[in-house]
Chain A
Amino acid sequence: MGFSVDFAGVLSGAPLHWLLTGFLTTIVVTIAASLVASLLAVILLGLRISESRAARVGAAGLIELFRNTPFLVQMMFWYFAAFGLLPTGIRDWINAEHSWATFPGNIPLVSPEFIASTWGLGIFSAVFIAEEIRAGLLALPKGQSEAAQSQGFGHWASLRFILLPQALTNSFQSVVGQYLNLMKLSSLATAIGLAEITYQVRQIESYNSHAIEAFAVGTSLYLLLGLAMGRLMLAFAPKRRDGRNETGAGNAA
């Protein structure tokens, strides 16, 4: 075939610089979107399990909407459609230069691409995280909430002190999985022009046709990031107190 692997075309000069900024961009957008996802998940979960029927139905509707439509479509919606609905003043401000909000490596944090990606990834992941935690709540024996009720705990107090601590332990592995998904899904932000790893890999491919090497390095960077994130989050895993065995994933890290 006459094919030879040449990593020098990827790991030197401009391609190396692109890969590094791509890697940094993926890390930064993952962290920012994770924060947004966590905040939105708390709000959505609070509405979904509140005592108000209207709040529950509204939250359930939002959750179904974001769970059952393709993420790529959602991302494009935020970037191409929703962004255009913002007032002109805000759009001009976002499009302007912001030296104070530029991450080392010339990564602009205030740009339509970064904001749409962060928001899109955040809300998409939030609905899954909220549902994982709710599943953890539903898995608790009914006796736990009855015991809390019988002692005079109200709805939110019993959630706060008795039900959620146990539900979070139950759902911890799946929630970690959702944050890892968020990181991997950030690759789709390439479709709206966020210069993250996948975007840079494709740029290298069209620059010097080192597709195999570029994708190999890009994939390795995702793998590296995923393993690091997984280990980091599992270090915070709550300890099971209910006598059930911890699942394998905890030991694998």
Chain B
Amino acid sequence: MTDSFSPVIEFRSVTKSYGTTPVIRGIDLSVAQGEVVVVCGPSGSGKSTLIRLVNRLESLTSGDILIDGHSTASYRGAALQRLRTGIGFVFQQFNLYGHLTAAENIALAPRKVLGLSAEEALSRARELLKRVGLSDKEASYPSQLSGGQQQRVAIARALAMQPKILLFDEPTSALDPEMIGEVLTVIRQLAETGITMLVVTHEMGFAREIADRVIFIDGGVILEDAPPEQFFLATRHPRAQRFLRQLLSPLHTTGD
């Protein structure tokens, strides 16, 4: 997948601080067209911040992020809105619009931001609901859906803008265990379509299966950037080793 390496996302010396507290301390990272990059790391490591910087839900403190080769650091207002239109974001807490049905949630932005007609937007919404296996939930409000169903609608909502890039911020962390599978299945299918994806997740088995590369981040820097086989079987960095051990046996928290 990385043979013709043209970066779709390129971090250049990116930093982010909240006040005087640095969260991201100088990250350089390139993601190629169609690549699926899994970002993992302990809580507080800055991994959510990293992907929220891509569509500027967080502002950059310094550095630049190139999307399709275009510098975005100076984007404001309308330019920023256009940038976001092409980048789908899936939240940990789903964040479906509470006053709209599943179909309306998906159709709203295509109508109001992209300017599609109501019928076009609705038929797009129906197609996407079918794709995530929720055709029968078209008229349901978010409060009537399970967590797994809400997250699948949220993924459909992100896809409705036909983005080139999809960002996932711990998409299964707020789900009951029995619902994780249905959401991962949908994401796995997307990974195969060639859309560029950055996925923050703690699901290591899933990461191993879908990732082209795994990024391990701690303290706001990238400590490891490796293909999944290498990361999971022969990670070099001691912090990454400890992180993986803790995920595999959570009770064994002390290092050696």
> Which residues of A are interface residues toward B (Cβ below 8 A)?
141, 143-144, 146-154, 157, 161-162, 165-166, 169, 241-243
Contact pattern, B 113-140, Cβ under 8 Å of A = 1, otherwise 0: 1000000000000000000000000000
From B81, B141, B158, give the contact of A154 (CB < 8 A): B81
Of B87, B91, B141, B143, the contact of A143 (CB 8 Å cutoff): B91
Chain B residues within an 8 Å CB radius of A144: 95, 97-98
Q: Is B89's beta carbon under 8 Å from chain A?
A: yes
| Residue with the greatest number of chain A CB neighbours at <10 A, chosen from B88, B94, B99, B112 | B99
A151 with B109: in contact, given A241-B141, A243-B143, A243-B144 (CB under 8 Å)? Answer: yes
Given known A150-B89, A152-B84, A153-B81, contact A241–B112 (CB-CB < 8 A): no
Distance between Cα atoms of A242 and B150 in the complex (Å):
13
Residues of B within 8 A of A150 (CB): 55, 57, 84, 87-89, 158
Can you list the 4 inter-chain pairs with the closest CB atoms, starting with the nearest? Answer: A243-B143, A152-B85, A143-B95, A150-B89
> Can you list 6 residue pairs at the A/B interface with Cβ under 8 Å?
A143-B95, A146-B91, A150-B158, A152-B82, A154-B78, A165-B99
B144 adjacent to A153 (CB under 8 Å):
no
Interfacial chain A residues near B98, Cβ < 8 Å: 144, 166, 241-242
Write the nearest CB–CB distance from B171 to chain A, whole angstroms: 13
A241 to B139, CA, bound (A): 12
Question: What separation, in Å, do the CA atoms of A243 and B55 have in the docked complex?
Answer: 31
Interface of B (DSSP majority class):
mixed
Within B89-109, the residues touching A (CB, 8 Å) are 89, 91, 93-100, 108-109
CB of B23 closer than 8 Å to a CB of A: no
Within the complex, the shortest CB–CB distance from A147 to chain B, in Å, comes to 4
**Which residues of the other chain, A, contact B9 by a CB distance below 8 angstroms?**
none
A152 near B95 (CB under 8 angstroms)? no
Cβ-defined contact, B112 with A147, below 8 A: no
Point out the residues of chain A lying under 8 angstroms from B40, CB to CB: none
The CA of A169 and the CA of B99, in the complex, are separated in Å by: 9
Q: Which residues of A contact B81 (CB under 8 A)?
A: 152-154
B143 adjacent to A241 (CB under 8 Å): yes
B161 in contact (CB, < 8 A) = yes
Contacts of A157 in B (CB 8 A): 112-113
Chain A neighbourhood of B141, CB < 8 A: 241-243
Q: Are B89 and A153 in contact (CB under 8 A)?
A: no
> For residue B82, which residues in chain A have a CB less than 8 angstroms away from its CB?
152
B93 lies within 8 A of A152 (CB): no
Given A141-B93, A241-B99, A242-B98: A149 and B109 within 8 A (CB)? Answer: no
**CB neighbours of A169 from chain B (8 A):** 99
Q: Which residue of A lies closest to B144 (CB)?
A: A243
Closest to B92 in A: A143
Report A-chain residues with C-beta under 8 Å of the C-beta of B94: 143
Smallest Cβ distance from A115 to chain B, in angstroms?
39
B57 near A162: Cβ-Cβ < 8 Å: no
Q: How far is the CB of A229 from chain B (nearest CB, A)?
A: 26
